[in-house]
Amino acid sequence: MAKAGFDPAAAVTFWKKFGGDRSPSLIEQWTSTHPGGQERVTQLSDMQAEALQLYNQAPVKYGLGQKIK
């Protein structure tokens, strides 16, 4: 996302709204291939410094992208 020129901070905001306050059940954790809820938000937050470096190197920056109407 950052390499493609999209603001990596938007991912944290998105996942907080999309379910960052909910912890997945044991079955969801076992069957999922991606972290859920707060774990995903924490991992994305921890990766922000590295992601911002990649974003700053992107030749074209789209920021947050376009809003869907």
Is 36 within the bounds of a domain?
yes
Tell me what pLDDT residue 14 has: 86
Beta-bridged to residue 6, according to DSSP, are: 63
Is 68 within the bounds of a domain?
no
> What is the domain extent for residue 47?
9-57
28 has pLDDT over 90: no
Q: Tell me the DSSP string of the chain.
A: -TTTTB-THHHHHHHHHHHTT-PPPHHHHHH-SS--HHHHHHHHHHTHHHHHHHHHH-SS--BT-PPP-
* Rounded mean pLDDT, 16-39: 73
- The total domain count for the chain is 1
Is 63 within the bounds of a domain?
no
Spatial distance between the Cα atoms of 38 and 11, rounded to a whole number of angstroms: 13
CB 63 within 8 Å of CB 6:
yes
pTM above 0.95, yes or no: no
Is 1 within the bounds of a domain?
no
